[in-house]
Amino acid sequence: MNMLKVMIVDDEPYILQGLQVLIDWNSQGFEIDALMTNGKEALDYLKDHKVDLIISDIKMPVMSGLNLLEEVERQHLSDAKFAFLTGYDDFSFVQRAIRNNCIDYILKPVSKEDLITLLNKVSNLNDQKEKVRQSQRTMEDAYLATNLMSIIKGKYDDTNVEYVNKHLQLAGGIRFVDIEIMTEGISDDEDDYDLRILQKQMFNACKEILKENASHFIFDVSYEKDNYDVGFIFCENMATRRDLSEKEFFEQFHRKLEVLFVKPVRIMCGKMVPDVSSLSKSYSSCARISSIKGFHKQKNIYFYEEDIQVGQSGIILCKNSLDECIRAIQSNERSEISRAVAGLYEEMNQSGNGSNIIDLNINYLLFQLIHLASEQDNNVNQEEVVQYISEKSFENSVMRGSVQHMERFAIEYADYLMGLRKNVSRGILADIEAEIRDHYAENISLRNLGEKYFINSSYLGQIFRKKYGQSFKDYLTNYRIEEARKQLIGTDKKISQIAADVGYRDCDYFIRKFIETQGCTPSKYRKNHTES
């Protein structure tokens, strides 16, 4: 705990010595920082030192306590609290002191109880001041994040840019960096509430690692739905002033984050841009990294220049083979898809340049496929398609980057497009409603329903959200809580039994979800609705 610093000013040595031993200062959260014999000494000390409380005699030679207080106020030397030591005949001086923001006075001889009362008062005032300071800092951080989000999303004006430049330490080139929790393999039944808590913990860990640049981190700036991430505005001098390369900087940052945070983390560094007004370009480049990362060996840190941007070194775009792949996927003919993918990889391998040409061509193919999905259904969100591509890439990671991997992905994507064409929302959602109604207490998920009804689970999630205005998971939660409400009012079952009846194996988790949706505990809800 940080001790509050105290200066005692008195021309009587026995007063200075006596106050030092009168109480255990440290146990009260204070430490004596300086002992002065007159106001002039104290004034000179305050020019170079910070204290939190000044306890001063009123009458002293050279400079009195009152003159000390007035000079400190006039010169704005310190925001320390003032308290005076005084006798019974000094009340006219006390009145003058109070007019100059003195917070209290103590009668001589000083009692232990009076001194502790004063310290408690100062502690409370300091706590209130700190709360105000924290509140102001929170509001300032929120306003800075709002301005940054406007710039990142490409919807900004000169006012946003001016504010960010003023409040961030920007020098040299700038990158948007996405720091995300690796959630591959997490089932649909994973508790997103807990993941959200983890996201906040990661946010705090990032700020702890780079304390001097804590304001460069933004909570939750994902370009993908249900992504648990933190945004980071990186500028070149963060690395250079540490005598590190960018790669060394992020490797060091990642190692520290591994120590402070329990989950594995992925860092994606968008393209370098010259200034904050171009930040949206760096942000969008992170989405490109996300869309192709599944086709590469998985790693902790991605750089746009290494993993996407190839340069102009004679690398060839296999346009004809790529067009064949796109046509085959459109037609949803498996034999044609297999032949086209094999042809593409054969041409890429013959062209040389190794992984660079594969990066360039796969990147081109993926973005053509995103465009293709949008053509099938104008309501399709391109960011959701990018998310689907990333998810499928990781699901098929056994032979990452191989012909077989791409072939499997292309076949699944062709099925995805077929689902879009059929406009399956008309009949499928009625079946899904019936599934929830009949099996809400069981372990049902979009993945399982997609397999049962032969529809891609990602697209099923999209059309479900469009119709109901909420995710499948939220809809299922609300349905379960509604059934729990009925049992709470209409039966005398225990809370734990009702939780199990509506599909919650963990009673504590059920109570938490009930509070989120109903604003009170199940017990209180039952009491409020069963009392006559």
pLDDT (tens digit per residue) in 429-449 = 778 888 888 898 888 888 888
pLDDT value at 218 more than 80:
yes
Residue 329 burial (CB count, 10 A): 26
Paired tokens of 459:
């697209």
User: E strands along 301-387, which residues?
Assistant: 301-303
Q: Do residues 38 and 63 lie in contact, with contact meaning Cβ atoms separated by under 8 Å?
A: yes
Q: Please report which confidence band the pLDDT of residue 397 belongs to, taking 50, 70 and 90 as the band edges.
A: very low
pLDDT value at 351 more than 80:
no
> Looking at per-residue confidence, does 517 or 421 come out higher?
517
What pLDDT does 6 receive? 96
pLDDT value at 494 more than 70:
yes
pLDDT > 90: percent of the chain: 34
Q: Do residues 106 and 83 lie in contact, with contact meaning Cβ atoms separated by under 8 Å?
A: yes
pLDDT value at 398 more than 70:
no
Residue positions counted in the chain: 532
Q: Please report which confidence band the pLDDT of residue 59 belongs to, taking 50, 70 and 90 as the band edges.
A: confident
SS (H, E, C) 200-228: HHHHHHHHHHCHHHHHHEEECCCCCCCCC
Positive or negative torsion for Cα 490, 496, 499, 501: negative
What pLDDT does 227 receive? 72
What pLDDT does 311 receive? 42
**CA nearest to 425, candidates 385, 376, 390, 391:** 376
pLDDT value at 396 more than 60:
no
- Give the mean pLDDT of 495-504: 92
Q: How far apart are CA 490 and CA 366, in angstroms?
A: 54
- Give the mean pLDDT of 221-250: 85
What pLDDT does 209 receive? 95
Q: Do residues 319 and 311 lie in contact, with contact meaning Cβ atoms separated by under 8 Å?
A: no
264-290 burial, b at 16+ Cβ within 10 Å, e below that, comes to ebbbbbbbbbeebbbbbebbbbbbbbb
State if pTM tops 0.95.
no
Q: How far apart are CA 84 and CA 94, in angstroms?
A: 8
Write the pLDDT tens digit of every residue in 148-172: 888 988 888 899 989 998 888 787 8
Paired tokens of 95:
């009145």
Paired tokens of 341:
């993918």
pLDDT value at 32 more than 90:
yes
